[in-house]
Amino acid sequence: MITTTFNLVKVGKIEPLDDQSVFEIVIPPLQRVKDFSDEAFEEFIAEWAVACAKTKYKDVYRIGGSGDKGRDVIAEYENGEFDYYQCKKYSSPLQPSQYWLEFGKLCYFIYNKDIPMPKKYYVIASHDLSKKMRALLEDKENIRSGLIREWNDKCSKNLIEKKTINLNGDLLKFIQNFNFDIVDTYSINTIIEEHRHTHYFYFRFGGNIKPKRNIKIEPPASIKDLEGKYLSKILEAYSENKKENINTDKLNQFADLLRDFRSRRQEYYSAESLKRCIRDIFSNENEFEILKNEMHSGIKDFIQTDFKDGLDKLKKTMHESTKVNLSISRVDNDLHFVGNDDKKGICHHLANDDLVDWRTRDE
């Protein structure tokens, strides 16, 4: 039976499981999939759907909890249509007898206007489909006749808790005319092979093919809006050092400051490149936030000590930042993506968040 509570989880917020055993024990991916928990299997399918069909779908969601109405994963097209993925985690190939209830959910909840008709409906089984199940999906009329035949036994009392849904009247007519051509499947081997070419694969299954850092952003000639805050704080540090108001127009008068300014922008964009790379690999920027939080923890006491002026504080903090251990993040600990310029650049991102300031006196 199902209840009416469920949670939509956008796949952009789902991370590969933090299972360190994938890096310690060599287990074939197919076996790992078979050993996944129900939740991990759904996350894996959602991960594959968004990573392998990113040009196909606008958004992909996994429905957490009960009350999924026959949809573990929902994939939305730009035009508002949907594909549904129903995941089944059993210890053997999926049999028709194990699936009539899911066909019943699909038909009933569409009939009841609880969910829209999908463009495609995919049956995904961790141990693939049995011969009988494959034969059933190949002849869609057998799904219709089988569902009608099995309704009383498999569906009527199991669709909605404490309620019996009889198959008669308009509901029966709906199923008699339902377009079962939308039903399809993917084999687990196909899914694994497509997943193998994504950044997620390494974190799901281990192996020696790590994601590569392949994004490098150079500072643009003109200063962008996103640079405004951290650069203004750097200019304040220069002003303290020179004891006069330093702005970008005055930088050309000070060769040392101009060199420093160019280096700071390079550092910022090094960290920005890292941020974009993380977003590409993990579908969000959570790992970059981990790096920022750890960097702030590493330098927050240091920046409270005494300095000659703002430039002295800036330079010494940049040096201190290179000593901060960021191995709490897999980006540093496992992928080894984080260099010294990235660490310094993360400090500039902290400045943008108003967590760091280079002034040594209040104004």
Last residue of a domain, one of 146, 172, 205: 205
Last residue of a domain, one of 144, 173, 205: 205
pLDDT per residue over 252-272, tens digit each? 999 999 999 999 999 999 999
Same domain? For 235 and 116 the reply is no
Same domain? For 121 and 240 the reply is no
Same domain? For 76 and 108 the reply is yes
What percentage of the chain's residues is helix, strand, coil (to nearest 5)? 50, 10, 40
**Total-model pTM:** 0.63
pLDDT per residue over 171-226, tens digit each? 999 999 999 999 999 999 999 988 887 777 877 777 666 778 888 999 999 888 88
pLDDT per residue over 18-69, tens digit each? 555 544 555 688 888 898 889 989 989 988 888 776 568 888 988 866 677 8
Same domain? For 149 and 272 the reply is no
**Total tally of structural domains belonging to the chain:** 2
Q: What local confidence, expressed as pLDDT, does residue 25 receive?
A: 54
Same domain? For 22 and 148 the reply is yes
Same domain? For 164 and 296 the reply is no
Same domain? For 180 and 264 the reply is no
Assess if residue 252 is contained within a domain.
Answer: yes
Assess if residue 359 is contained within a domain.
Answer: no
Assess if residue 216 is contained within a domain.
Answer: no
Same domain? For 258 and 119 the reply is no
If residue 59 lies in a helix (H) or strand (E), which one and from where to where?
strand 59-64
* Mean pLDDT, residues 285-314 taken together: 95
Assess if residue 198 is contained within a domain.
Answer: yes
Tell me the average pLDDT of the chain. 88
Residue type, 258: L
Is 101:158 a contact under the CB 8 Å cutoff?
yes
Q: What local confidence, expressed as pLDDT, does residue 224 receive?
A: 85
Last residue of a domain, one of 144, 174, 205: 205
Q: Structure tokens of 252?
A: 């050309």
Assess if residue 362 is contained within a domain.
Answer: no
Name residue, tokens 């049956």: 123
Instruction: Tell me the CATH number at 80.
Output: 3.40.91
Same domain? For 199 and 280 the reply is no
* Mean pLDDT, residues 232-240 taken together: 96
Same domain? For 70 and 195 the reply is yes
Is 20:202 a contact under the CB 8 Å cutoff?
no
Assess if residue 2 is contained within a domain.
Answer: no
Q: What local confidence, expressed as pLDDT, does residue 198 receive?
A: 76
Give me the percent of the chain exceeding a pLDDT of 70: 88
What range defines the domain where residue 266 resides?
A: 225-352
If residue 82 lies in a helix (H) or strand (E), which one and from where to where?
strand 82-88
pLDDT per residue over 75-117, tens digit each? 999 899 999 999 999 999 999 999 999 999 999 999 999 999 9
Same domain? For 166 and 264 the reply is no
Assess if residue 218 is contained within a domain.
Answer: no
Residue of 63, 78, 86, 68 lying closest to 10 (CA atoms): 63
Assess if residue 220 is contained within a domain.
Answer: no
